[in-house]
Amino acid sequence: MADPARILLPFDDELVTIPEGGEVLYIRPPAFLPQGFADFPHIVCEQGFKPFSDRLTLENLTVVPEASGEFPMVLLALTRSRAENMANFARACRMVSTGGQVVVSGDKTDGIDSMLKAVKKVYEVDGVLSKSHGKVFWLTPNAAAPEAWEAAVQPKQNAFGYLTAPGMFSPEKIDVGSEMLTAYFDKSIKGAVADIGSGWGYLAKNVLEKCERLTSLDLFEAEYAALEASKVNITDERAAFHWADVTAMDKPAEPYHTVICNPPFHQGRTADPAIGVSFIAAAARIMKPSGQFLMVANRQLPYESAMEMYFKSWEILEQDRAFKIIRARRPLKRQA
C-alpha cells in the first residue's frame, strides 16, 4: 500500500469514529503504522508476512499471523493478490460485530476500484474517499459476503499434487527456474541443509527426495500461509519449518552444509534485486566455510557483484534465455 495514512482519512474527516474500548483488527497492515494510529485504543494486527510482523511487534503492537474472534471495527489494507483481498474482505465482514464498521484502503494497482464495484453489488457502502492513486471506503456489513470470496483462497491441490493457494509464489505451475535448479540436487548435498524462501515447498520436497545423504532440512519462509501449506506438502521427518525473515537471520550455532534458494525479487509490485542480494548475504552468513550455496535467478538480475562480495568462489553452472543457476562456495569471513 503506497499511502499508509490513507486509511485514516475518514477518521480525520470525522466521517468514521474510533470505537470506544474493544480491539480494532487491522488485516495486512503496512510495516509502519502512521502516527494517527496512536489515537486507537488497542489494535490487533493480522500480518502473515514475517518482516512486517517483526517490525510491528517492535512497536509493541499485538501481531498475529491469523486472527479470529469478533471486533467492533475491522480495517483492511489491500495486497497485490485480488483473491486474497476479496477473501480478507469477506473475513472482515465475518469478524466485525453487528453494527460495527469495516474500513478498506488500497491502491488502484491493487484493484481497489474493482473491489469497490464488487462490494457495492452486495452491500450499501457508507462512504468513499480518494487519495494518492487509491481509495478508502467503509461500510457497516449487515450480512455475510458471498461464500465464493473466501472459498477462492482455500488451499487446494494443484495439477502437480501440491497444496497451494492464490497469493503464494507460482501456485498453479512449477516455476521453470526452480525446476531447473533441482537438476543440481545430487550427492554433493549432505548433512544439514537450508531452503531459504521455501514457499509452499517445491525445492524442499525435491531435495529431500533426491538427496539421501541429507540429514536435516530447515525450511525458512516469510509468508505464514505458504509455510503452512509446505507442512502438508512435506511429510519427511528430516524437515523442520520456520516462519522467518531470511534477511534478518543470524549465523546459527550449527551452520549449514548446503543452502538452496530461488530468491524473491519483488517487494509489492516493484522488482527489487536488493532483496535477492540480502538473501545471498544471508546464505553466506548461515553456511559452513566448506559448504555450498545453490541458487537460481532470473538471468537479467544483477547478482554477480553480490556473489563477488559475499563469496570467495562462485560460478554460473548453467544459463538459458530466462534463468541462471549459480553455485557459490567459501563464504567470506567478514560476512559471518
Ligand X SMILES: C[S@@+](CC[C@H](N)C(=O)[O-])C[C@H]1O[C@@H](n2cnc3c(N)ncnc32)[C@H](O)[C@@H]1O
Under the rule (CB under 6 A), what is the footprint of ligand X? Answer: 51, 169-170, 175, 178, 197-199, 202-203, 220-223, 226, 245-247, 262, 264
Characterize 81-118 residue by residue with b for buried, 16 or more Cβ atoms within 10 angstroms of its Cβ, and e for exposed: bbbbbbbbbbbbbebbeeebbbbbbbbeebbbeebbeb
Burial bucket for residue 77 (CB in 10 Å: 0-12, 13-18, 19+): buried
Helix (H) or strand (E) holding 99: strand 96-107
Q: Which is nearer to ligand X, 134 or 199 (CB)?
A: 199
Residues 6+ apart with CB under 8 A from 131: 3, 6, 9
Q: Which is nearer to ligand X, 101 or 178 (CB)?
A: 178
Give min distance, CB of 197 to ligand X, in A.
3
Q: Which is nearer to ligand X, 85 or 262 (CB)?
A: 262
Give min distance, CB of 233 to ligand X, in A.
11
Q: How far apart are CA 190 and CA 18, in angstroms?
A: 56
Q: Which is nearer to ligand X, 246 or 328 (CB)?
A: 246
Q: Which is nearer to ligand X, 101 or 182 (CB)?
A: 182
Nearest to 306 by CA among 288, 279, 333, 271: 279
Give min distance, CB of 112 to ligand X, in A.
23
- List, in sequence order, every residue forming a beta bridge with 271; answer none if it has no partner: 266
φ/ψ region of 222 (left if φ > 0, alpha if ψ in -120 to 50, else beta) reads: alpha
The answer to whether the CB of 7 falls within 8 A of the CB of 27 is no
Give min distance, CB of 221 to ligand X, in A.
5
Give min distance, CB of 61 to ligand X, in A.
19
Give min distance, CB of 163 to ligand X, in A.
13
Give min distance, CB of 70 to ligand X, in A.
30
Please count the other Cβ atoms lying within 10 Å of the Cβ belonging to residue 321: 5
Q: Which is nearer to ligand X, 57 or 170 (CB)?
A: 170
Give min distance, CB of 248 to ligand X, in A.
8
Nearest to 89 by CA among 150, 134, 151: 150
Q: Which three cell numbers stand for residue 58?
A: 517492535
Q: How far apart are CA 308 and CA 318, in angstroms?
A: 18
Q: Which is nearer to ligand X, 137 or 220 (CB)?
A: 220
Q: Which is nearer to ligand X, 93 or 246 (CB)?
A: 246
